[in-house]
Structure 1
């Protein structure tokens, strides 16, 4: 009863503020890999104001990052889907899960949704199904591999780079690691205005190498710069599934 009352109170407030058009949720292409079922939190039947009601339920649900609607069914997921998600095309042993509409939950002051694939300048190498642009336009659900980024291995200099388009103030960066492999340690992030990416250190993460975890990089003071680099100094792969750049 208490939860229902909270939902009704929030819905009352949403009459004046449109949840779906706010910076909290962004509409994404509603074509997902069937693997998304591994990140399902809850399903509910909804008849009244389905988009708004489903959005409220996701806001109240712990770890809910995505909600999708199909007919009168609201599905809540912990999967993180970027605002640049192009929609799913078939991968090996996978089928498409389609919905009427899907909305992804993002940080209010994130710079990441403004990035496009062309902002990803380069990486030292990449696996065919783990391209560098995946971490801004991809899909991240637990151990699923196809929409993360990974170097191909054996690189002497493992890095991922992004051009933010113009100098931007960055206060923190959050990187989601792969859930299936320990491939993230001794990682340095640099940010500045030198287009050869030889810029000052933003922050550094020594380790250990976690799986399926969000790692925060936060300098003592915010840094302003255009050219961002994530580099690993460990003789191993560099793998990342998502990056959130906070202004």
Structure 2
């Protein structure tokens, strides 16, 4: 396993800005304090499960001690869904990316409570993870679930799913690897479908060229269940790398 540098104190980390080398940021860094339980989990478990920009380009086989199916989730929120997936598939490995420190602490607590050994975490901009930390063709699946929709038209340029981002993700997927997107904003779903349908090196898993049924291995979040009771739709898109 790679030796990791411990990040700054969780309290300081929660208050400090997350920098990005790219001009337009696709996320808002939500301020918030860790609970006492999240902070203690962070202090105990970050040295083992945390990955940093300073680690440089990782070798996933070295990080996990094996060569298994490797998943990347970008923006795991409070981490419950990622923990559910990792617990349900112990034969697979998972890397999660989240800039919100309470979410990182919450996932570390889930890892401890469930005894998970197949999860590692970055708490930096996903762009840096893709560009600086992951070797090409190392991922079997990339998941982006319910990213910020930036629903105002003037903010659409901030949406994460854009042609340039998708192409950088493509190079990190092995040929045949899956990019799985999900959103509960219909306009963003339409945008995602347009971007992916026009993206070089990707093909829709659906022969009809539309949205996909929710795969059984994507957990339904509390937020999603609440939305369903209010009549909100959810759209999944699964595209695979062709070359």
Report if TM-score (shorter chain) is over 0.5. no
TM-score (norm 2): 0.32
The structure where strand makes up a greater share of residues is 1
User: Greater CA radius of gyration, 1 or 2?
Assistant: 1
- Give the TM-score normalised by the residue count of structure 1: 0.31
